[in-house]
Amino acid sequence: MFAAVVPAPASLAPTGGSPFRLSAATVFGGDPDAVAALTALVAARTGLQPAAGAAPAVRLVVERGGAPESYRLTADEASVVVTGADAAGLFYGVQTLGQLIRPSDEGWIVPAVEIEDAPRFRYRGAMLDVARHFHSVDTVKGYIDRAAGLKLNVLHLHLSDDQGWRIELHSRPELTRRASGTAVGGDEGGHFTKDDYRAIVEHAAARHMIVVPEIDMPGHTHAVGLAYPELVEEPVLSDHIREIANEYGGELPRNGMPYDGMAVGFSSLRIHDEATYDFVADVFGELAGMTPGPYLHLGGDEALGTPDEDFALFVARASEIIADLGKIPIAWHEAGSAAGLADSTIGQYWGFVRPTEGMDDKARAFVRNGGQLILSPADAIYLDMKYPSGPELGLVWANGPTSVRRAYEWEPSGVVDGIDESDILGVEAPMWTETIRTADELDTMAFPRLAAAAEAAWSPATGGSALRTWESFRERVGALGPLWTRLGIRFHPADEIPWTVE
């Protein structure tokens, strides 16, 4: 039970001593931000409000010199000490300490243990689609809190799609004025003001996360045409588009009319019109000024309404525009088919754990171009896939339904042949929201599968430690049920997991 930590630490060893006993008289000391974070965690988990003052029994400190984001935690009968190599490492050590706290016959305890921990990958992401269904600032902040508790350090916001545009830009005011009011199924839309976006970025930064904004181009751009019709082509209506409309409802897309269906791949910007690149420069130029993180995401997926040569021309120019702004471009793996991408563009692979249709070839192209890969295999960690049993939320197209075990049992280094560990920037779990409308539904679809993705991103490689197995994970994540409940996380009680009940 002492090892109920997710994601699994690099090294965890019980010392065999008596546990540390936590009470309202326990004094916390050290870094003020870390003390505040731990106090909130302890209050949520136990109801206790430990004191601050001299001679702390729980010490939270930064000592420079270790690997970035690393920490060390030691607990014995007399004290608990968490030492971070930097502020982020200390924050993650606090999250581990919060998970270790458990009840006993004599009150709340922390088991006697020594932990040495550091992340495997430096990019550990959760993506949230606010375009198909809009989600408020408070909901996004809550999602940040949940992701940070699992040691994720990136929030990727999918801010535009055929159904709506979600970010205010002074350079292109018609986007939110005319293209933000709708969502899938005719639901109400919405958008973030610049102040809203700043609040999200600041909330993330306080939890050692960056925000990666995505404006998906040249497909997924029907909403752009509501604001600037001169920039878009006529929808390309394939048989597949008609099948999706028949299955899920909604009208077929028509230029100038809001689209609230679920089909993809029909829209395109006008590739050979210089006004299109003025638009791209305006959008990413303003976003660059609003986003302190190093990355801007240009999308580039499912551009089925754009001829291949035109697609290659567009993503090459868009990536160079982003690079000229001093940012690192990210694109979905389809863009790997294009010659001329900006050097070091990052590819995000959304294909299956076993690649199909040449998806791995496109992904490898980013590495040949001096970039790296973010792994988001859809049939493992697309969080919007249905569970095998549970709520009637989600989709099944990615070999779904997707069990917690399948979300866990994949290895990042084993997805795309021919790439080294150093070629992988990290792992990201996307949450698309065609069927997901509320914060509670986000919780249900993300938890516990987001924890499986977090372990792939943070922990040693599969089999690299005794903890890095499905059998260990299901026990450890099951023991987090009471903590998640106290934190208000409405997780899906998947029957694969032996959930702890207090």
Which residues belong to the active site? Answer: 302
Confirm if 435 and 427 have CB atoms less than 8 A apart: no
Number of helices (H), then strands (E), in the chain: 16, 20
**329: β partners:** 296
Nearest to 29 by CA among 50, 3, 7: 50
Nearest to 220 by CA among 146, 138, 164: 164
Confirm if 473 and 408 have CB atoms less than 8 A apart: yes
**424: β partners:** 373
Q: How far is 287 from 226, CA to CA, in rounded Å?
A: 20
Residue with tokens 């450890």: 476
Residue with tokens 């409940």: 485
Task: Give exposure, 360-393, as e/b (b: 16+ Cβ within 10 Å).
Answer: bebbbbbbebebbbbbbbbbbbbbbbbbeeeeeb
Residue with tokens 């990666």: 212
Amino acid identity at 194: K
Confirm if 434 and 262 have CB atoms less than 8 A apart: yes
Distance of CA 474 to the CA centre of its chain: 21
Token code pair at residue 62: 């930064």
- Greatest CA separation for the chain: 72
3-state SS, residue 471: helix
